[in-house]
Structure 1
Amino acid sequence: MKKKVLVTGFDPFGNDTVNPALEAVKQLDGIFIDEVEIVTQEVPTVFHDSINVMIKAIETHQPDVVICVGQAGGRTQVTPERIAINVDDARIPDNKKNQPIDEQIYEDGPAAYWTTLPVKLIVRHMKKAGVPAAVSNTAGTFVCNHLFYGLMHYIQKSAPHIRGGFIHIPYIPEQTLENGAPSLSLDDIVKGLKTAAIVAAYEKEDIQEIGGTTH
């Protein structure tokens, strides 16, 4: 049975001139793997605008699954996120100079939403494909978490047949030439996201295995 997965990626933000999420999305657009069609959407690194662009893409493409992707500089692995929280607390301004602090994303929303992607199963398959991966329990409080929460709120209110979640990815090597931060090749990131799309398209139930952290 054919499935459609929408993958979104942010444009560059802060002092970066490239965002690996967007670079990966460019390579994923329009491909078919194992009866899974991947469609993509660039989203602005802007509070609220990002959610509006994503919702328009969902309504246009009518996907079975939505995976939002964002950069998490300093991480060493591809990290599917477990939970989105209902707060904006921006350490830096977004690309329109908005900097909300301690603000709810939706006043009528719960404190948090769980992902509906099988994140531990995705991690297992990424590792089998040779991509370093781990479950993450915090998507931060910047636009990544904002979009993740907005996605799950939209699904809850308007599209319960869709499953969705968020994946953070490391820097790519060209971003770390001067600072020595951890990075992962764009090829590995793309391979990991392809794997996530296939697993999420066909597997609804997650596995139960150790994936937690002590901090």
Structure 2
Amino acid sequence: MRSQLLLTSFETWLPHQKSNTSDDLLGEVSALKSFHPTSCLLRKLPVDNQLASDRVLAKIDRLQPTGIICCGMAEKRSQMTVESQATRGEKILPTTVDLDRLMTQLAVTAISHDAGDFVCNHLYYTVLQYLRDRQWPLPCLFVHIPLLNEQNLAPILVDFMTICQELEGRESPLVNR
């Protein structure tokens, strides 16, 4: 049976971080009965550009998922964001997902046009470039997760599961071809 989604998260990278919210959210997702049983979680990627990218690309080749959602922690953001693009120097690679249409289904998520200048942006760019170079029309998103608490966990989880459901099918109406 073919994997539906590949979902990734990172380890922590600063001494004060007890956990990485991207991984915390994937832990919550994996516990849900509605989570697709053939989807794959690639959790706690190292906060290292090359190692993280190598692991994700190898997993993409092995699983051939129908969609990819990479997740990272955004400690300073107050809401979950989907990244419209990744950058490398002056080069910009946009997601193929129709974010405007996706946003009509999300209650607490915003679009961001800045994936940062750290491992999150690097991984996103690498995956988008890999898919583009192979002419592999998989929907791929990077989602930044804010610090989670009792007030925001449930609505973030609902939005995240909506994103997962929309990206599960190869013929998702949310993918710009």
Shorter-chain TM-score: what band?
Answer: 0.7 to 0.9
Q: Give the aligned partner of residue 171 of structure 1.
A: 147
Unaligned runs of 5+ residues in structure 2 are none
Q: Is 1:9 matched with 2:15?
A: no
Unaligned runs of 5+ residues in structure 1 are 88-109, 175-183, 207-215
1: CA distance between counterparts of 2:41 and 2:4? 10
Where in structure 1 do 4 or more consecutive aligned residues deviate above 6 Å? none
Within 5 Å, give how 1:83-102 maps onto structure 2: 83-87=85-89
Q: Point out the more displaced range, 156-165 or 16-25.
A: 156-165
Q: Give the aligned partner of residue 76 of structure 1.
A: 78
| 1:40, distance to aligned residue in structure 2 (A) | 1.1
Contact conserved, 1:47 with 1:143, CA < 8 A, in 2?
yes
Q: Is 1:158 matched with 2:134?
A: yes
1: CA distance between counterparts of 2:123 and 2:36? 27
1:67-88 deviation per Cα after TM superposition (whole angstroms, max 9, x unaligned): 101111121211110010014x
Q: Point out the more displaced range, 154-163 or 63-72.
A: 154-163
Q: Give the aligned partner of residue 59 of structure 1.
A: 61
CA RMSD of aligned residues (A): 2.6
| 1:6, distance to aligned residue in structure 2 (A) | 1.0
Total equivalences in the alignment: 170
1:31-64 deviation per Cα after TM superposition (whole angstroms, max 9, x unaligned): 6749785321122111111101111221222111
2: CA distance between counterparts of 1:64 and 1:30? 21
Q: Is 1:134 matched with 2:136?
A: no
1: CA distance between counterparts of 2:32 and 2:174? 22
| 1:123, distance to aligned residue in structure 2 (A) | 2.3
1:79-127 deviation per Cα after TM superposition (whole angstroms, max 9, x unaligned): 110010014xxxxxxxxxxxxxxxxxxxxxx711001122222222121
Q: Point out the more displaced range, 22-31 or 71-80.
A: 22-31
Contact conserved, 1:81 with 1:166, CA < 8 A, in 2?
yes
Q: Give the aligned partner of residue 20 of structure 2.
A: 19
Give the one of 97, 101, 115 matched to 1:121: 101
TM-score by length of 1: 0.70
Change in 2 beyond 3 A, CA 1:121/1:37: farther
**Structure number having the greater strand percentage:** 2
Change in 2 beyond 3 A, CA 1:36/1:194: farther
Change in 2 beyond 3 A, CA 1:156/1:32: farther
TM-score by length of 2: 0.83
Contact conserved, 1:44 with 1:50, CA < 8 A, in 2?
yes
Contact conserved, 1:69 with 1:167, CA < 8 A, in 2?
yes
